Amino acid sequence: MRIVLAGFLACTMLVACDMPDTDKPVKVIKEDQMAAAQKRVDEKKAAEAEPEYESPWDRFIDEFIEAHLAAHPAFAVFQGRHEYDGILPDWSQAGIDAEIARLKEAREEALGFTEDELDEEGLWQREYVLAVIDRALFWSEKAEAPYTNPAFYFDWMSDSLDPSPYITLDYAPLEKRMEAYTRFAGGIPRAVAQIRANLRMPMARTRLEYGIASFGGLSDYFMQDVPKVFAGVRDASLQVAFAEANAEAANAMGELRDWLISNRETATDDYALGADLFSQMLYDTERVDVSLEELEAIGRADMARNQQALAEACAEFSPGETIQRCFARMAGRKPEGGSVEAARGQLEETRAFLVEKDLVSIPGTEEALVAESPPYARSNFAYINIPGPYEQNQPSVYYISPPDPAWSEEVQHDYLPGEADLLFTSVHEVWPGHFLNFLHANRADWVFGRVFVTYAFGEGWGHYTEEMMVEAGLRDASPETRIGQISNALLRNARFLSAIGLHTQGMSVEESERLFMEEAYQDQGTARQQAARGTYDPAYLNYTMGKLLIMQLREDWTADRGGREAWREFHDTFLSFGGPPIPLVRARMLETGAESVFYSPN
């Protein structure tokens, strides 16, 4: 699952879009026009009244958030801060260095708030802030992701080239969004030049192919799909400006794709972070501090637990047959009407089940749409795009990817999930997974918790809900239902072990593929896709890691609160924090120190 989430920002009202009148010509944006766009942001801020703060810490938090949005304007747009519409980040080396310096300065300022100035909650908040800063510094500085990994430019927790806010939302009239997109597209050639200057060759083959598919997919999307979105706009001058900017953006992305293709012959297998950097990633991004040996043992134990559960379910579902045959039988019952149509019905089913079983609160009345994913975002089967909470009344879209047409017909057919498998993708993405997570996060008491989310919190919650729904009796926990859930769990187990293997143990991509196929019973297309993902997304172990941290926290928190009877209260409390590293959530909920404690049934 490639996830493109809007983030955990919140505000009580939509920020007005400051855009030119539609009766004026809109020219293709160049660097001087980028400065003009930034001027609009500055003018808007200058016009706002100076807020009042209860403490210097509150001022620091507000100023940090605003500075972060200014440094990451594409991220800001995803959050619904449309004064940043059309502005792309400065991805030059000088711009990246300046952002690293800003983050380090902010880190020192946060550390300057001591126990004499902050109460217990303030000290906890400080640790949350430091974790957010450390995450950004890890990827931009320690891992050198801007220079070694095209996935950096599609980061759901930071800036991304994804144009979806202008395309899928209706936060403003179509003409206004077309103007915003035109400015965005006009900035693409400059961004492409910076990205090309950054990316070092030779590059790891799988990362190179990710860039070819993603940048090339954007080029195709710009040319083939975006014009259809704005075809109804009747302003001729706007259409001319759009066509020029969009064509230049498509060409720039196509040239970037072609340049990457030209480097295929020199591509390497040098994708591993190494043990030291991988361990640093775990702490800097998630505050997990266990040894790699212990972490691997935890992952293997959970895979064995799920394999045993699969054997038991298969004994009921397909008695006398092998696990592979049982799994194939589940996968062979494809969703009627296709994955997109079936997923729509599953959302109705899972929401009703949540209400019936009273498993968690559902704040608000928002619903999620389901659609086929655009061509630039098909590196995983499914993801959800959720508008930031500065938006109002905007739809979330649960995207499902079709098979790669370059694959054989057999591989394409096998790639389509079984209906029970798809059910738990729908659980993960919408009810009660990511979508419900954001409904709660948007209402978090502390604004910082609405802004920043960690990978393990978001994906760990989504993955946790899959097993939780079976435990609660979804579809009476039938054998086929359990197999569908376990198939998703085993996929994440294989990610967990592949991340450790690929980056710390010399595992090859081919060995990772076999792990997905032989131990997690995944089809060849999925195995190929997921093994490659591990090389450019080493943190994809966070699905299982987050799930196991949440499961143990639930066991510990509900132990003296009635066990199963306290699940709703546990879920509501857990989700109320926004998205901190889970060890910090554990510290708050259990009133202990922050520590990594993983679920183990033994």
DSSP-assigned letters across all residues of 426-464: HHHHTSSSHHHHHHHHTT-SSHHHHH---HHHHHHHHHH
Pure H helices in 287-391: 292-317, 323-332, 339-357
Amino acid at 526: T
Q: What is the mean pLDDT of residues 17-39?
A: 45
**Count of CB atoms situated within 10 Å of the CB of 11:** 18
Token representation of residue 132: 């957010």
**pLDDT 10s digits, 251-296:** 999 999 999 999 999 999 999 999 999 999 999 999 999 999 999 9
Assess whether pLDDT exceeds 70 at residue 20. no
> How far apart, in whole angstroms, are the C-alpha atoms of residue 168 and residue 276?
41
In this structure, of 9-18, 53-62, 484-493, the range with the lowest mean pLDDT score is: 9-18
User: What is the predicted pLDDT for the residue at 183?
Assistant: 98
Pairing type for strands 368-372 and 382-385 reads unpaired
Counting residues of the chain whose pLDDT is more than 70, the rounded percentage is: 91
User: What is the predicted pLDDT for the residue at 45?
Assistant: 63
**pLDDT 10s digits, 425-481:** 999 999 999 999 989 998 888 989 988 989 999 999 999 999 999 999 999 999 999
Assess whether pLDDT exceeds 90 at residue 17. no
> How far apart, in whole angstroms, are the C-alpha atoms of residue 306 and residue 521?
12
> How far apart, in whole angstroms, are the C-alpha atoms of residue 465 and residue 492?
13
**Can you say whether the dihedral through the CA atoms of 72, 77, 83, 84 is positive or negative?**
positive
> 374 versus 65: which is more confidently predicted?
65
User: What is the predicted pLDDT for the residue at 21?
Assistant: 33
3-state SS, residue 86? coil
Long-range contacts of range 363-367, CB-CB < 8 Å, 24 or more positions apart? Answer: 363/439, 363/440, 363/443, 364/439, 366/395, 366/396, 366/435, 366/439, 367/395, 367/396
Token representation of residue 520: 């997690």
Whole-prediction pTM value? 0.90
Asked if residues 182 and 246 have their Cβ atoms less than 8 Å apart, the reply is: yes
Report the side by side order of strands in the sheet with 368-372.
368-372, 396-400, 382-385
Asked if residues 417 and 339 have their Cβ atoms less than 8 Å apart, the reply is: yes
Measured CA to CA in angstroms, residue 86 lies from 19, 35, 79, 207, 583 at distances of 10, 11, 14, 28, 37
Of the CA atoms within 13 Å of residue 71, those in its CB half-sphere come to 19
Asked if residues 60 and 113 have their Cβ atoms less than 8 Å apart, the reply is: yes
> 294 versus 407: which is more confidently predicted?
294
